[in-house]
Amino acid sequence: MTLIHLAILLPVIAAVFIGTLYRYYRRIHLGWFVLPVPLLIVIYLFTLIPRAMNGQVIHETMQFMPRIGMNFDVYIDGLGLLFAILISGIGALVVLYSIGYLSEKENLGNFYVFLLMFMTAMLGIVLNDNVIMLYLFWELTSISSFLLIAFWYTRDRSLYGALKSMIITMFGGFLMLGGFITLYLITGTFSIRGMIEALPQIQESPLAPFAIVLILFGAFTKSAQFPFYIWLPDAMEAPTPVSAYLHSATMVKAGIYLVARFTPLFAFSNLWVWTILIVGLFTMAWASFNAIKKDDLKAILAFSTVSQLGLIMSLLGLGALSLATGANDELFTVAVVAAVFHTINHATFKGALFMITGIIDHETGTRSMKRLGGLLTIMPVSFTLTVITALSMAGLPPFNGFLSKELFLEAMITVLKADFGAMASTDFLIPLVAVIGSIFTFIYSILIIYGIFLGKRTHDTPKEPHDPPVLMLISPAILSLLVIIFGLFPNVLSATIIDPAAMGIMDSAEPLGTHLAMWHGFANPALWATVAVVIIGSVMFYFRDRWMFIYNYHKEAFTLNFLYDQGLLYSRIGSEKVTDGYMTGYIRNYLVYIFGFFIVMGIITLMNSGFNMDFSGFAPVGIQEVIISLIILIATAVILITRSRMVSIIMLGSIGFSMALFFVFFRAPDLALTQLAIETVTTALFLVCFYHLPKKSRHEERMRFKFTNFIVSAGVGILVILFGISAFSGRVFEPISEFHIENVYELAAGGNMVNVILVDFRGFDTLFETLVFGIAGIGIYTLMKLKLTRKDEDNEEHSEESRV
């Protein structure tokens, strides 16, 4: 446990206190108490920058489950540090913004606890070296994202969006776990550093493509790449601070991070680089094309986010591509630097744009582009911020978006010069798609400014708009300021953050000495590409009414959303049919399934392992054992023939107590005690349960002989006896009890071996049994209470009917 571990876990620890505090103290907005957490973390992370600049890495291990190689290995290099600073920095701004955005009437406790949980999960992803831990945090982000999207859980759209995002991202995450395990099979380690050291093994392994595809599924679902992007627009049902934080600045970049982190590992593979490059570029163009037709302001931003993520993804692919083919080292560097730089820029301008959208939603009561318009004179501050950030998104000088966009175009155009072998004839497509995507990006950026603030005042908004309180403007203003600063003085970043991060992606220790500048001379093709984008974009924007009709050809039935909805619907119908087929509602049928399966597995086991019968080691049977056995037999017979439930309960009890006596005779006091206690409690439980059974007595009708039941019951009995004899007769391996006997006092300071096994040697079993026990109790509570309320509703309905 070091300071850095503590920094990662700090939000979750704080969440406990925040949740408790909210219960008892509500006078001050809860956000103020949350704000110091990300601030502290970001300050701490800034102190690590000098070390990352020198190419140093921090590697701290906290042992978690060392036996299976699952340790909390913190690994901080430039790449992890960049993302961690984004997470905590944007996190602080978002918390500040949310104080103005969320009124105190909302359930702030839930909101901030989920948000803090997310913060830890995200920091855990980017500062981790162990892939299993990475997977753990990865799924935690999915869960907290689910909870945050469903924050207004009474709205159907929120629930739909939350469920969709969870299904898609968890689907990918689970496949990614498969990829990690495949990598483990190849290299024998869960550590990413260890895997990079074992690179030759991966290159030779036939399993490598398998691992690549699975890991890419994880990255593409999380970073909303085509065709998985459909969850992101629906995730916009979340409160706007969440959209700004999770669904544009941080969580969706986890996929980017994953690809960047695994670039040194997989760059050799053509599959890896081409998939990323093509999927990224296509996503960029497709999403920016689709953004224009959207009416909801947040939907436009969602598609824009998808598009920008595609852009970063394609840059990473391009970087890896040039490394794989050895075509052009400089190209690799440019692409990677552009990817890193754009990740920062996107977080600044898109975060600010989302916050402004939230302000507009808050002040006007609508996000529909049709109903907004002409707000320039009413909301001048918001307008200024929008112009800065939207133009940065469009890639215009003097903002930071221009610099990274130009790097992007430059990298894409350089592809033409490089020789990629077989693909040489089609490589002109890469810059072409990039430019097309940029044109649409330009158009929707202008559309946002124009649609909200310029044009004619609609007077159609639910609320009378005005500029928001200062509190809500601080965060977007800070981000807009950063947009300008990074645009005018990009070299503030280049040596401190961008270079170390790019070094992390390239896995090199040499400083890159990147120098970013606005002006590269007229000979630079990227400049002309930008000019072309601006001119074509402006023309197309001006004549947008003439060509917008093409969107009508995109029919509902051909969308991915339709596919998702139908798939979900039919899988539900299908599983319902299958389940209805065997879930009869009678416990006797379920017992037949369970015991039937047991018989099948038992017979297979016996056939595989062989059957031993050896009576030589048996102790002689004493008189007391005979008596107890007889009691058990008689009690069982009585249960079968008695008509009274009370008698059967008592007989069941007597069987249990006889078993306890057996344990006493066989010198197992722990088992005997437990058996006695359980018998007592279950007898009481049976008593209260039997009350709920129908009031008629048993055996009113004669039970028919059922052959299946006979086979199953006889089979179980015979198998258990055979197992018992077989297990006693032939020991396959040495019993573990020797180890326990030897170490019970030395290691655990205990005298009772059984209990030491329970709480120490095999404590995990007990821990999870306890959890299951508690969950069962809470589950039964919920079921019973749920039933009670349902009954009340029914009663009300009935009473209403009767009144009618």
Partner 1 sequence: MKSTLKKAGYSKVQKQVHDVFLQFTSKVIFFIIILFAFKLFFAGHYTPGGGFVGGLLAAAAIILLLIAFDQKTVEKMLPIDFRILIATGLVLAAGLPTLSFLFGTPFFTHQHTYITVPVFGEVALHSAVIFDVGVFLTVAGTALLIIKLIAEEDD
Q: Nearer Cβ to partner 1, position 606 or 676?
A: 676
Using H for helix, E for strand and C for coil, what is the string for 139-160? HHHHHHHHHHHCCCCCCHHHHH
Q: Nearer Cβ to partner 1, position 50 or 777?
A: 777
Q: Nearer Cβ to partner 1, position 74 or 95?
A: 74
Is the N-terminal amide bond of 694 cis, ω within 30° of 0? no
Q: Nearer Cβ to partner 1, position 634 or 685?
A: 685
What DSSP letter does each residue of 765-782 carry, written as one string? HHHHHHHHHHHHHHHHHH
Contact 652, 612 (CB under 8 A): no
Q: Name the H helices within 424-465.
A: 429-453
DSSP bridge partners of 58: 76
CB of 58 to partner 1, least distance (A): 17
Cβ neighbors of 208 (< 8 A, separation 6 or more) are: 186, 202, 266, 269
103, with CB counted inside 10 A (0-12, 13-18, 19+), is exposed
CA 359 to CA 458: how far, in whole Å?
18
CB of 22 to partner 1, least distance (A): 18
CB of 684 to partner 1, least distance (A): 5
DSSP state of 83: H
CB of 768 to partner 1, least distance (A): 10
CB of 785 to partner 1, least distance (A): 8
CA 133 to CA 52: how far, in whole Å?
23
> What's the token pair of residue 83?
């993302």
CB of 536 to partner 1, least distance (A): 58
Torsion of CA 386, 387, 391, 394, to 10 degrees: 50
CB of 792 to partner 1, least distance (A): 14
Q: Nearer Cβ to partner 1, position 633 or 786?
A: 786
CB of 772 to partner 1, least distance (A): 10
Cβ atoms within 10 Å, residue 620: 5
CB of 763 to partner 1, least distance (A): 5
CB of 693 to partner 1, least distance (A): 8
CB of 701 to partner 1, least distance (A): 18
By residue count, the chain amounts to 804
CA 219 to CA 173: how far, in whole Å?
8
Q: Nearer Cβ to partner 1, position 588 or 695?
A: 695
Contact 92, 242 (CB under 8 A): no
Q: Nearer Cβ to partner 1, position 593 or 666?
A: 666
CB of 91 to partner 1, least distance (A): 24
Q: Is the dihedral of CA 93, 97, 99, 104 positive or negative?
A: negative
Q: Nearer Cβ to partner 1, position 135 or 420?
A: 135
Q: Nearer Cβ to partner 1, position 692 or 803?
A: 692
Give first-to-last CA distance, the chain, whole Å: 68
CA 10 to CA 757: how far, in whole Å?
33
Rounded to 10 deg, the angle between the 645-665 and 623-641 helix axes is 160
CA 46 to CA 85: how far, in whole Å?
8
CA 69 to CA 659: how far, in whole Å?
42
Q: Nearer Cβ to partner 1, position 531 or 684?
A: 684
- Binding footprint of partner 1 on the chain (CB under 8 A): 1, 5, 62-66, 644-646, 669-670, 673-674, 677-678, 680-681, 684-685, 687-692, 695, 697, 748-752, 754-756, 758-760, 763-764, 766-767, 770-771, 773-774, 776-778, 780-781, 784
CA 92 to CA 74: how far, in whole Å?
22
Q: Nearer Cβ to partner 1, position 416 or 741?
A: 741
The amino acid at 146: F
CA 263 to CA 276: how far, in whole Å?
11
CB of 696 to partner 1, least distance (A): 10
Closest by Cα among 117, 112, 94 to 245: 94
For residue 238, which phi and psi values (nearest 5 degrees)?
-70, 160
CB of 3 to partner 1, least distance (A): 13
Q: Nearer Cβ to partner 1, position 603 or 771?
A: 771
CA distance readout (Å), 627 to 31, 56, 462, 634 = 71, 76, 85, 11
